[in-house]
Structures are given as structure tokens and as C-alpha cells.
Structure 1
């Protein structure tokens, strides 16, 4: 049984093949420009905030703040293009925190675009994320999935050469 992480949930939301590769520790190209840019944006954005890169159990939070008695967990992304997966990743974190007794709200932050999207873990979302985790578990126990997407949708993926070259 594999430990589900937020990055694995993000990968699953983006592409099941990517999730399988991540789960089996087949890492993407380390020289990928999109990954490098994402790391740079993460490291240089919100530098004045104290609570960045918090690791708790199997989750790694980009940023945690207390505002007016509320705990706010933020996930920093480089662009708006994978926000569906980022939303699922953040909901996974909120669910794990809830299971630990911490009730928090979430924010997706896209500093380049000055976007801030509030994310709340509802009962419906909680059930969906739990089901997704079960699906991820089944996926990683099976063989590598085939390529599902059209090549143009994959062009910015760090696994592009693994799948398409």
C-alpha cells in the first residue's frame, strides 16, 4: 500500500499516467523549465511570510497563516493552468488536517497573476477526495496506464519525453 500525498493527488488530477509514474518514484526531468520556474516562484513569492514549507505527517504545506482566529493554508502555483489539480491537492491537505483535528481554510495563490482563490472543504468535497484517494491506491497497484491525452495537452509536462519521445 502506497502513502497518498498531496503531490500524488495533484498528479492524479492532471493525468493518471503521471500519478502512476510519481507513485513508482519515476521522477520527471530535473532540467524541465516549467518545474524550475515553479520552484523559483514558490521560493521567491511571499518571502515576508514566516510559516512557509511546513511538513506534517505526509503533507507538505506551502504556507500556513493565522488570520482573525482562522487557520489558512495556502498552495502557491505558477499559473492558472492546473488549478483543478491544485484545488484537489489543497482539499487533500485540508482533509488530512481535519483528520488531525485542525480545521483550516485553503487558498490557491498564483502570484504572477495576482490571483487568490478561497477553498473550503465541504462534506461533498471530503467524500470526493476520499474516493479519489481510493482510486489512486487502485491505480498504483496496477500496470502503467496508457497515454490518454493528445500530445499538445502534454507539451508542458515534465514527463513529456518519457511519454512521447
Structure 2
């Protein structure tokens, strides 16, 4: 069963997606992950419905009458953040819950509204099909160096045996 991190990792790095899908989880001790956990714990304290888990598939930071809400440190991974929230909106819609989404970026002090559109649903379905193809491969996707590799929890794993940076 796919979750929000599958969607996010697909957008960020397909190799990271594959590793995560194989339960190779190097992230818990990563500084960025720990920073995000603290942010998540402090966010939306005024909202009654927070930290909602649905069917062991999605974990929403907060929900109110109009929005599902996600909090992020920065917008460096904005496309991945958007698709993660689109996935949540889609999954809720399948369960009869229609909402809009809000992503709050604390460092930039900005908020982005996300709406589920038919075009986004079509694109998301294609994305889900590609994710399923990737996670069922016997070997990880080829290593592709990206600008954010150095801050990734999988950095040492991915760079082992690769040419030096």
C-alpha cells in the first residue's frame, strides 16, 4: 500500500523511493528528519484534529472544516510536498471527504493552497503506476546525482562504489 512518502520520494529521487520501499530506512537519525519531527510536534497546536492516521496509509498533520494541513520547514522540495498533499486529497476524496490542502512553510513564513483537479488526478494515477513499477524492481534505479544528495539520509549508501563527488 502506497503512502505519502512514496509519492514524495518518487518526485525527489526514484532510488530513494526504491530503498524506502525495501524497508531500508536510514532516515530516523538524519538531522533533517529529526528537525521535521520537532516541527511536526509543535505545529497546529490550536487545531483540534491533528496527527491523523488513515488506514495505515496516510498521516495528515491537521484537518479542519475546509483544509487538510501539512507543515514543512522550507519549500526546497515544493513539488514533492505538493504531490504528497495531492495524494492525501485524492485518498480522502475516495473516502467521501472533499477538502482543499494547505502547506505551511515555516522558514519562509508562507502558505500554499492546493486543490485536487481532474488533471492532477490523472497525473497522480500515472505517478502511482510508475511507483509500483519501481518498487517491484529487483535492483534499485540507477544512481542519479542531485543537488540535495549531500543532505539525504541515503547519501552514504548511494555514493558507496560511485565515482567521487
Q: Note whether the superposition's TM-score is higher than 0.5.
A: yes
Matched residue SS, 2:51: strand
CA distance in 1, matches of 2:50, 2:58: 13
Which residue in the other structure is 2:64 paired with? 65
CA offset at residue 153 of structure 1? 2.9
Cα contact 1:45–1:111 (8 A) shared by 2: no
CA distance in 1, matches of 2:76, 2:27: 20
CA distance in 2, matches of 1:153, 1:10: 14
Give the number of aligned pairs: 158
Give the direction of change, closer, same or farther, for the CA distance of 1:103–1:162 in structure 2 (3 Å limit).
same
Give the direction of change, closer, same or farther, for the CA distance of 1:24–1:78 in structure 2 (3 Å limit).
same
Residue 107 of structure 1 pairs with residue 102 of structure 2: yes
CA distance in 1, matches of 2:6, 2:125: 13
Which residue in the other structure is 2:163 paired with? none
Matched residue SS, 1:155: helix
Q: TM-score, normalised by structure 2?
A: 0.91
CA distance in 2, matches of 1:30, 1:93: 23
Which residue in the other structure is 1:159 paired with? 154
Which residue in the other structure is 1:7 paired with? 5
CA distance in 1, matches of 2:142, 2:157: 12
Give unpaired runs (5+ residues) of structure 2. Answer: 161-165
Consecutive aligned runs of 4 or more in structure 1 exceeding 4 Å deviation: none
CA offset at residue 99 of structure 1? 0.7
CA offset at residue 45 of structure 1? 2.1
Q: TM-score, normalised by structure 1?
A: 0.91
CA offset at residue 158 of structure 1? 1.4
Give unpaired runs (5+ residues) of structure 1. Answer: none
CA distance in 2, matches of 1:51, 1:112: 24
